[in-house]
Amino acid sequence: MTEKLTAVKQSFETELAAAQSLDELENIRVSYLGKKGSITELLKGMKDLSVEEKKDFGGKVNVLKNEATEQIALKMKELKEKEIEREIGSMPEFDLSVPANLSRGSYHPITLVQRECERIFKSMGFNVEDYSEVVTDYECFEALNIPKHHPARDMQDTYYLENGQLLKSHTSAAQNAIYKKYKSALVNEGKPIKAIFPGRCFRNEATDACHENTFFQMEGVMVDKDISISNLIFFMKTMLSEVFKRDVKVRLRPGFFPFVEPGFELDISCAICGGEGCPSCKHSGWLELCPCGMIHPEVLKSGGIDPEEYTGFAFGLGLTRLAMMKYGVKDIRDLNSGSLKSLSQFTDDE
């Protein structure tokens, strides 16, 4: 029996040493330590031995069984480590020089500049209003102190519809509705009217690189008890510095618009030359950016607000122009072209 034990031990050690994989190791475990395994069999073969022999031999077999279990465990650990190493070794080096696949969408550039302006004004407590594209003559002209025979009402400038309504020629067309919407909060709760209204405007004219019949503006108004020219300059400067992300210098010149008095043309210092003069600013150092002014008393009156008690300012920002300036778009028609070659380039920009 002892020879048998020695033989089993030897063959176990030989086979174990030869094992290359976890599968082989498992086979070895089963063939020695399984229910019918060689070592298990040794114990079964003890039934013919004397008690003394049983005790002695049994002890040896148990030692062997423990040794085998331990060696298998060790071997298993070794083989597992080897397997991980093999897996690591088999991993190829990736070629990161291959361009990434940027399957991504795009926002219309107007959406991008509009969102930026909205964010700035919201942060200063302005409401963002939406308004229709089709408006009445009253909203677009009458309520804005634009008299019946003003050139702005000419057919050649405005798209009139068969029912007498028109496609709004400026975002100022929303002013009247906004005053009416907020006047009770102004009068009864002392809540100043602070609103911006971005929107699409239309002019009945031929298009070229600088002219579009469909374009975007953003109007802004603020009305309260003591709104002054000084406040207007402050807001314009603060807002434009945010838009252009630099400390812009602003300059006001008299400008005539029937719905403001006094009315201004607002210039900002040219970003390209820093005010020295360059082709972009026609060598003046200034860029004409947005008309603004103190809301005309008649316009406030049309909105149901007493101009003796309240004053306010209004401004109009050309969103289309802003987008063109920001992204260097030279041909205004690109914006409505629907061309994905140009418009797919505009991604989230905040």
Partner 1 sequence: MLLSMNWISDFVDLSGLDKLKLINQFSLSTAEVENEIFFKGSDIEGIVVAEIKSVDEHPDSKKLHLLKVDAGDGSLTDVVCGAPNVRVGMKTAFAKVGAKIGDITISPRALAGYTSYGMCCSEKEIGISDDNSGIMDIAEEVKNGTDIKELYQIEDIVFEVDNKSLTNRPDLWGHYGIAREFAALADRPLKPLDTVNLDDYKNLPKIDMKIEDSLCQRYSCLQVENITKNVSPVNMRIRLFYCGMRGINLLADLTNYLMLEMGQPMHAFDSRKVEKLRIKRFDKPFVFTTLDGVERNIDENTLMICNDNTPVAIAGIMGGLDSEIVDDTTRLTLESATFDAVSIRKSTVRLAHRTDASMRYEKCLDPEMTVPAIARFVKLLTDIDSGVKVVSSLTDEQAFNYETIKLDFDKAFVNRYTGIEITNDRIVKTLESLGFKVKLDGDNFSVTVPSWRATKDVTLKADIIEEITRIYGYDNFDINTVSAPILPVRADLEKSAEDRVKDILVKRYSLHELHSYVWAYHDEYKALGIEIEDNIKLVGAVNPNIETIRKSIIPTQLCQVKYNTGFSSDFGVFEIGRVINGLNADNLCNEQKKLAITLFSKTKSVEALYFELRGMLSVIADDIKHKELCFESKTEAKSYQHPRNLNTIICDGKIIGEIGIVHPTVSKKIDKKAAIVYSEIDMRDFAQIANASIAYEEPGRFPEMEIDLSFVADKFSTIKAAIDEQNSSLIKGVSVSDIYTDESGKSITIRIRFSHPERTLTGEEVKEVTDKIINTLSSSGVMLKQ
Give residues 276-335 in contact with partner 1 (rule: CB under 8 A).
Answer: 282-284, 294, 296-297, 311, 335
Tell me whether residue 59 or residue 160 sits nearer to partner 1 (CB atom).
160
Q: Among residue numbers 126 through 155, which ones bind partner 1 (CB under 8 A)?
A: 126-130, 132-134, 136, 149, 151, 154-155
Chain-centre distance for alpha carbon 56: 80
Q: Read off the amino acid at residue 194.
A: K
Tell me whether residue 246 or residue 283 sits nearer to partner 1 (CB atom).
283
Minimum CB separation of residue 325 from partner 1 in Å reads 18
The binding track of 87-106 with respect to partner 1, each residue x by CB under 8 A or -, is ----------------xxxx
Alpha-carbon distance of 37 to 16, in angstroms, equals 14
Query: Is residue 204 involved in binding partner 1 (CB under 8 A)?
Result: yes
Alpha-carbon distance of 312 to 231, in angstroms, equals 9
Minimum CB separation of residue 157 from partner 1 in Å reads 10
β-partners of residue 224 are 311
Query: Is residue 275 involved in binding partner 1 (CB under 8 A)?
Result: no
The binding track of 245-264 with respect to partner 1, each residue x by CB under 8 A or -, is ------xxxxxx----xxxx
Q: Read off the amino acid at residue 324.
A: M
Q: Which of 50, 97, 163, 188 binds partner 1 (CB under 8 A)?
A: 163
Tell me whether residue 68 or residue 319 sits nearer to partner 1 (CB atom).
319
Query: Is residue 202 involved in binding partner 1 (CB under 8 A)?
Result: yes
Q: Give yes or no for a contact between 218 and 317, defined as CB atoms under 8 angstroms apart.
A: yes
Tell me whether residue 83 or residue 133 sits nearer to partner 1 (CB atom).
133
Alpha carbon of 319 to those of 158, 171, 208, 282: distances in Å? 19, 11, 18, 21
233-241, Cβ contacts within 8 angstroms, sequence gap of 24 or more: 235/124, 235/313, 236/266, 236/290, 236/292, 236/315, 238/124, 239/120, 239/121, 239/124, 240/268, 240/289
Q: Give yes or no for a contact between 238 and 230, defined as CB atoms under 8 angstroms apart.
A: no
Query: Is residue 190 involved in binding partner 1 (CB under 8 A)?
Result: yes
Query: Is residue 110 involved in binding partner 1 (CB under 8 A)?
Result: yes
Tell me whether residue 306 or residue 348 sits nearer to partner 1 (CB atom).
348
Tell me whether residue 64 or residue 314 sits nearer to partner 1 (CB atom).
314
CA atoms in the 13 A half-sphere facing the CB of 272: 14
Q: Give yes or no for a contact between 261 and 301, defined as CB atoms under 8 angstroms apart.
A: no
Minimum CB separation of residue 217 from partner 1 in Å reads 14
Length of the chain: 350
Q: Among residue numbers 66 through 85, which ones bind partner 1 (CB under 8 A)?
A: none
Query: Is residue 227 involved in binding partner 1 (CB under 8 A)?
Result: yes
Q: Give yes or no for a contact between 193 and 314, defined as CB atoms under 8 angstroms apart.
A: no
Tell me whether residue 8 or residue 335 sits nearer to partner 1 (CB atom).
335
Minimum CB separation of residue 115 from partner 1 in Å reads 7
DSSP per-residue letters across 292-309 = EEEEPHHHHHHTT--TTT
Contacting range for partner 1; rule: CB under 8 A; set: 15-23, 63-71, 83-91, 223-231: 223-231
Tell me whether residue 5 or residue 317 sits nearer to partner 1 (CB atom).
317
Task: Tell me how crowded residue 12 is: count the other CB atoms within 10 A of its CB.
Answer: 22
Report how many residues bind partner 1 under the rule CB under 8 A. Answer: 83
Minimum CB separation of residue 134 from partner 1 in Å reads 4
Tell me whether residue 22 or residue 329 sits nearer to partner 1 (CB atom).
329
Q: Among residue numbers 49 through 68, which ones bind partner 1 (CB under 8 A)?
A: none
Residue 118: helix, strand or coil by DSSP? helix
Residue 94 DSSP one-character state: P
